[in-house]
Amino acid sequence: MVARVAAAALVLSTALSVSGTHFLLNGRPKFLVFISYFDAMRRADAAPNGLDADFAFFRGKVDGVRVFANWLAYGCPPKPATDTLFDLSGVDESRWPSLQRVLDTATEYGLLVDVTFDRDSVHRPGGMSQPSYVRALADVTRRLKGAYPNVYFDLQNEWDNRGAHAITEAELREAAAAVHREDPGRLITASGAFVKDAGLNFAAIHDPRDAHWFEEPHYRDALVAGVATLFQEPKSFSTFCPGQDKDDTPGRHAAAAANARKAGAAGWTFHTRTSFRMDKAYKGGASRYVDLASAAEKAELSRLR
Task: Show me where the domains of the chain are located.
Answer: 7-303
Checking if the pLDDT of 8 tops 80, the result is no
pTM comes to: 0.94
208-254 pLDDT, tens digit each: 999 999 999 999 999 999 999 999 999 999 999 999 999 999 999 99
Question: Which position has the higher pLDDT, 157 or 285?
Answer: 157
Q: Give the range among 10-19, 23-32, 142-151 with minimum mean pLDDT.
A: 10-19
Q: What is the mean pLDDT of residues 30-36?
A: 98
| CB contact at 8 A, 64 and 34 | yes
Cis? peptide before 77, omega within 30° of 0: yes
pLDDT at 126: 62
pLDDT at 94: 97
pLDDT at 31: 98
| CB contact at 8 A, 28 and 14 | no
3 pLDDT tier (thresholds 50, 70, 90): very low
**What is the chain's mean pLDDT, rounded?**
93
> Which among 247, 240, 242 is positioned nearest to 278, based on CA atoms?
240
pLDDT at 128: 87
Q: For 258, phi and psi rounded to 5 degrees?
A: -65, -40
pLDDT at 80: 83
CA–CA distances in Å: residue 124 to residues 11, 70, 87, 121: 40, 12, 7, 9
Whether the CA torsion 239, 279, 190, 227 is positive or negative: it is negative
**Domain spanning 7-303, CATH architecture:** Alpha-Beta Barrel (3.20)
